[in-house]
């Protein structure tokens, strides 16, 4: 269920972004099954491929803090339309979140578009696709 207070936390997270190259801050708020909210922002690097998106920052912070189960993610961009995650973020979310977990895509006016992990990446790569030797 959409929670405007958590949407505002995603927006607040975007204010912490380090974006000297793109000037395009993004924020994320990942809700754990324990009802903790883990915020993430995008962090750029002069070697642009080494940059990290807000969604992955939130997931990696959560995993490295011991969380393994998630209820929702809110993704905020200072955009006219609700922002959508890149392919790399979609794959990371698919790795760590259930397929039916709600994903709330947000615009600068907190307009929301709701989808799910499966809706973002219906044919994601998953462990069950790996050889049993792995």
Annotated binding-site residue? 89: yes
Of the candidates 12, 34, 36, 55, the residue annotated as catalytic is 55
Tally Cβ neighbours within 10 Å of residue 105.
21
- Give the distance between the most distant pair of CA atoms in the chain: 48
Q: Distance (Å, rounded) from C-alpha 74 to C-alpha 63?
A: 17
**55 tagged catalytic:** yes
Check: CB of residue 101 under 8 Å from CB of residue 71. Answer: yes
Nearest-angstrom CA–CA distance, 61 and 65: 6
The answer to the question of whether 53 is labelled as a binding residue is yes
41 annotated as a binding-site residue: no
| Spatial separation of the C-alpha atoms in residues 36 and 22, rounded to whole Å | 30
How many other C-beta atoms lie within 10 A of the C-beta of residue 5?
A: 8
Return binding residues. 53, 86, 89
Residues annotated as binding site for Zn(2+)?
Answer: 53, 86, 89
Catalytic residues: 55
């Amino acid at each position: 269920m959409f929670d405007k207070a958590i949407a505002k936390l995603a927006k607040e997270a975007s204010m912490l972004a380090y974006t000297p190259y793109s000037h395009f801050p993004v924020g994320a708020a990942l809700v754990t099954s324990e009802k903790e909210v883990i915020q993430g922002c995008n962090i750029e690097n002069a070697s642009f491929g080494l940059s990290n998106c807000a969604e992955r920052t939130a997931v990696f912070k959560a995993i490295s803090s011991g969380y393994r189960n998630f209820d929702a993610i809110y993704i905020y961009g200072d955009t006219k339309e609700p922002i959508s995650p890149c392919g790399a973020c979609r794959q990371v979310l698919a790795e760590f979140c259930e397929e039916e977990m709600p994903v709330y895509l947000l615009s600068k006016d907190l307009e929301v578009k709701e989808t799910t992990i499966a809706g973002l990446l219906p044919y994601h790569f998953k462990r069950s696709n790996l050889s049993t030797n792995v």
